Chains A and B, each alone.
Chain A
């Protein structure tokens, strides 16, 4: 081994400690909660008049939200929202449907003791009112988190911390007097063969004609693939078939694969000559022709559709933040950082402006956007998180121009330039 190799080996060993450490990303450093209100004395030295609006604000009117839509902790007074960790799965816009009976039935099974306790409390205390479809009100002093319901309509109001008290709403749900019934078994996936009237699909059964059928069994019965629902059930008549057709098409457009499979099944059986299927297929075609999908949203995630609709709403309302929204949402060109650069040259992204933007989205999207703002280098997928990252980058760029310490922007840049 030559002397030169020895020297380079020594240098390598000396630098081994450097190599062993994980290489920090050379892109923008992880966010350290950049706040435009940090160090007001430094800002005031050169603050333009317009920047005086960046003052500490009291609260952002949203708080940490559990997956069931409940606010479980008050908002911090610094204006920062404590965000729980967001799972890696993409944020999904809740489908605009009422919670399926099967969902409530699944919850009533008592997935865990906390849920069972709540169910028992409701059944034994008829005075405690629970808003149907918006999740369970946790028992006082309880600490268990609500299990996520299967469906949660976006129209459900975002509960404020004060809403956790028992309400005296006269229209609230009250528990039934009869004991807990076992929910009807969910129907199996129907075969593609032609289905006869009564004896087939034996798995779709109820012990008595008065027992309630699940949503899918009713749907299948409508399309002629199962037993007809009992007369007491709500599913009969042309009007209800039309509403079912609308529901199936809407679900399919939102990405519900069960709905897509059902439409395909109806199509196949209509081709084979099944009269009920042909009637239903005609209704499906009529509805699709009369209600086309707006824009080129096919293939996009459901939350992208909702976000572009929100952006469109901002435009039609003459909202000046439309530019910010559309530039953030429409990511076909340039990528996230290009959008952030464009946004940063617009109006100052102060906390009130961010709050105004967040007000156009629902709870889960607000959550995801705030997470993206505070973690602009995160890799979570989803358009709402993407919007948040773009806003976060844009705020940091604006803060750099307005005398924020460069070490907050990028520690290495701060060191290089002598901070």
Chain B
């Protein structure tokens, strides 16, 4: 009777140790770098939704959930309704015309969360330019 709880405790401990070992498994830095290059290349150049979904599946199987979700969102961009696309284009133009840095950055984050990383990057760059231009104006004043 006393042995049974000890056995259960030993089994639980062994499972825990095995799980922690599996979780702490280090990915080869070279492999990690290759995956990063593939991911960024897919974001910057790939416009084929089928390829994007294939790569998303591969990343998901490797446990890279965030990257897989982003690739899936980018694959779905072309399948949006026309009115949604028009609204997003209009929002981008308004963002590039705005002088409110905070609003531009929030718009950039929204685009990034939807998978439009290129639009997000351009908006962030524009917001950084707004900040520098304001600083310059204050210095000259």
**Can you list, as one digit per residue, whether each of B114-141 has a CB less than 8 Å from chain A (1) or not (0)?**
0111110110011011111101110100
8 Å CB contact of B99 from A21, A26, A345, A409: A345
Whether a CB of chain B sits under 8 angstroms from the CB of A262 is: no
* Cβ contact within 8 Å between B132 and A24: no
List chain A residues, Cβ under 8 A from B100: none
* Cβ contact within 8 Å between A333 and B136: yes
Whether a CB of chain A sits under 8 angstroms from the CB of B96 is: yes
Task: Give chain A's interface residue range (CB within 8 Å of chain B).
Answer: 35 or more
Nearest residue in A to B56 (C-beta to C-beta)? A11
* Cβ contact within 8 Å between A333 and B139: yes
* Cβ contact within 8 Å between A416 and B133: no
Whether a CB of chain B sits under 8 angstroms from the CB of A300 is: no
* Cβ contact within 8 Å between B55 and A26: no
* Cβ contact within 8 Å between B46 and A417: no
The docked-state distance in angstroms from the alpha carbon of A417 to that of B90 is 10
B: number of interface residues (CB 8 Å): 52
The docked-state distance in angstroms from the alpha carbon of A12 to that of B137 is 49
List chain A residues, Cβ under 8 A from B89: 406, 417-419
**Can you list, as one digit per residue, whether each of B26-62 has a CB less than 8 Å from chain A (1) or not (0)?**
0000000011011011101111000100110011011
* Cβ contact within 8 Å between A416 and B139: no
* Cβ contact within 8 Å between B96 and A401: yes
* Cβ contact within 8 Å between B46 and A8: no
B interface SS class: helix
Q: How far is the CB of B50 from chain A (nearest CB, A)?
A: 11
The docked-state distance in angstroms from the alpha carbon of A413 to that of B34 is 25
Nearest residue in A to B126 (C-beta to C-beta)? A341
Whether a CB of chain B sits under 8 angstroms from the CB of A161 is: no
Number of A-B contacts (CB under 8 A): 127
In chain A, residues 392-419, which have Cβ atoms closer than 8 Å to a Cβ of chain B?
397, 400-401, 403, 406, 409-410, 412-413, 415-419
Whether a CB of chain A sits under 8 angstroms from the CB of B19 is: no
* Cβ contact within 8 Å between B119 and A413: yes
* Cβ contact within 8 Å between B85 and A417: yes
In chain A, residues 1-38, which have Cβ atoms closer than 8 Å to a Cβ of chain B?
4, 7-8, 10-12, 14-15, 18-19, 21, 23-24, 26-28
8 Å CB contact of B125 from A27, A333, A342, A403: A27
Whether a CB of chain B sits under 8 angstroms from the CB of A337 is: yes
List chain A residues, Cβ under 8 A from B41: 15, 18-19, 21, 23
With A12-B34, A333-B132 already in contact, the answer to whether A416 and B40 are too (CB < 8 A) is no
* Cβ contact within 8 Å between A24 and B129: no
Which A residues are within 8 Å of any B CB, using their own CB? 4, 7-8, 10-12, 14-15, 18-19, 21, 23-24, 26-28, 327, 333-335, 337-342, 345, 397, 400-401, 403, 406, 409-410, 412-413, 415-419
Between-chain CB contacts (< 8 Å), 11 pairs:
A4-B61, A11-B59, A26-B44, A334-B129, A334-B135, A338-B132, A339-B133, A340-B129, A400-B93, A409-B122, A418-B77
Which B residues are within 8 Å of any A CB, using their own CB? 34-35, 37-38, 40-42, 44-47, 51, 54-55, 58-59, 61-62, 74, 77-78, 80, 82, 85-86, 88-89, 92-93, 96-97, 99, 111, 115-119, 121-122, 125-126, 128-133, 135-137, 139
